[in-house]
Amino acid sequence: MAVLEMENKTLELDADGFLANIDDWNEDVAKVFAKEEGIEELTEQHWTVINFMRDVFKEKGDAPSIRRLTKESGVNTKELYALFPKGPAKKAARIAGIPKPKGCI
């Protein structure tokens, strides 16, 4: 089982390299994941997306679709892709500490 080494503890990752337990997540974990994805600094807009994804996951058990994300979070499609250039769906979910999104849209 892959793990993420943090300063004071070791966190379990799932087969996709996403956090295995959503409750292990905190802002420091997000920052470590972001660096791995090539995002040096998480801006306020990044946090808006991250928090929205976590809220939807807690409510529905899956990440929001890009459509819902852009309609309801206040971050539009262009901004979203600029924030997560390597693909917003998976990257943002990983940074947000939720499992890999299951949806197609």
Partner 1 sequence: MAIEKVSIVVSRGSLEGVYPGLIMANGARMEGIEATLFFTFFGLDAIIKKRMDNLSVATVGNAALRLPGGMKMPTVMGAIPGMSSFVTHMMKKEMDKIDIPPVGEFIEMIHDAGGELYACKATVDMFHLGMKDFCPQVSDIISVGQFYEMSENAEIIFT
Catalytic residue list:
104
CB atoms within 10 A of CB 41: 8
Whole-number Cα distances in Å, 27 to 1, 46, 71, 97, 98 = 23, 12, 25, 10, 13
CB nearer partner 1, residue 11 or residue 18: 18
Site for partner 1 in 43-102 (CB under 8 A): 65-68, 70, 76-78, 81, 85-91
CB nearer partner 1, residue 11 or residue 53: 53
Contact between 80 and 40 (Cβ < 8 Å): no
Amino acid making up residue 38:
G
CB nearer partner 1, residue 3 or residue 82: 82
Residue 32 touches partner 1, criterion: CB under 8 A: no
CB of 105 to partner 1, least distance (A): 5
CB of 8 to partner 1, least distance (A): 32
Q: How far apart are CA 66 and CA 93, in angstroms?
A: 11
Reference 98, options 48, 47, 64; nearest CA is 64
The residues of the shown chain that bind partner 1, judged by CB under 8 A, are 65-68, 70, 76-78, 81, 85-91, 103-105
